[in-house]
Amino acid sequence: MKIDGKVVLITGASEGIGAACAAEFARLGARLSLTARSAGGLARAGGDSALITPGDLTDEAIRHLVMARTIERFGAVDILINNAGVGVYGPSWAAPMEQTRRMMELNYFALLGMLQVAVPHMRARRSGTIVNVGSIGGKVTLPWMTLYSSTKFAVGSLTEGLRMELRGSGVHAMLVCPGYVTTGFQKNVLAGAAPPLVVRARRFAITAEECARAIRRGVERDARTVMAPWSGWLMVALRRLLPGLVEARMAEMSETP
C-alpha cells in the first residue's frame, strides 16, 4: 500500500511506538487521526495537522467517537494501527486481578472494539489495512510478564483469524511483534517491576523510530507479520526447536534477588 495521502488512525499515539508511527507515516504524506488518553501528548505527536481525540479506548463511546470524527474530517480510514496497550509485571499466581482485568480490557477488548468499528467501513470500500501491535511476548511467553504475554498471544490469534475472515475483501490484517523498544512502557505498567536481568537486557533494544519504520515498511508490502527487530524470529525458532533450554534461560531472567 502506498502511504502518501492515506488516512492513518493510530491508537496509543501520545508517546512511544504510537507517536513514532505518527511521525513516520506523516513523513510519507499520510493524514493522521490520533487518539490516546493524554491530550498534551497527542498535540506533541500530531503537530498542527493531525486530528486528535483524547479519551479512554476501553469506553465503547470513545471508540465510536474516534472513528466518527476521523470519517467526518477525512472521509475514510485507510489504515488502523491498534497500538494502545499496557503491561503488568510479576507472577501470574500473585497478580492483582483488578489491574489484570484493566490490562486485558485495553490490550485485547479495546483493540477488538476498534477493529469492529473500522472493518465494516473498510469492507464497504473494499480497501484498508488493520495493524495490530502485539509483542515478541505473543510468540514466546515472557515469564516476568506472563499475563501480558497472554494478552498478546490473544492479539496474535485474533489477527491471524481476522486475516482469514477478510480474505478476498480488499482488507488486510497485519500483526506487529516488537521486542525490546526504548519507550516509557516500563514506567507506565499497572503493577510490578521488571527483574534486574530484564532491565539490563534493554541494552539490546531498538528505538521507537526503528520500530515505526518496520511497521511502515510492513504496511507498504502487505506483510502478514512484522518482527521488530527481525532477530526476534531467532528467539521464536529457538523456542520451537529447544523449548526446555529457552524456558530455563527465561526462568533465570525472571528471577529477582
Q: Cell 512502557 sits at which residue?
A: 185
Q: Which residues pair with 31 in a beta bridge?
A: 7
CA distances to 181, 206, 247 from 203, in Å: 10, 9, 21
Half-sphere exposure of residue 128: CA atoms within 13 angstroms, side-chain side: 27
Q: Cell 484498508 sits at which residue?
A: 128
Task: Give the separation between CA 154 and CA 151, rounded to whole angstroms.
Answer: 5
| 108 in active site | no
Task: Give the separation between CA 147 and CA 69, rounded to whole angstroms.
Answer: 33
Pairing of strands 128-133, 225-228: unpaired
Annotated catalytic residue within 89, 108, 148, 180: 148
Beta strands in 57-193 (DSSP E): 79-82, 128-133, 171-178, 181-182
Which residues are part of the catalytic machinery?
A: 148
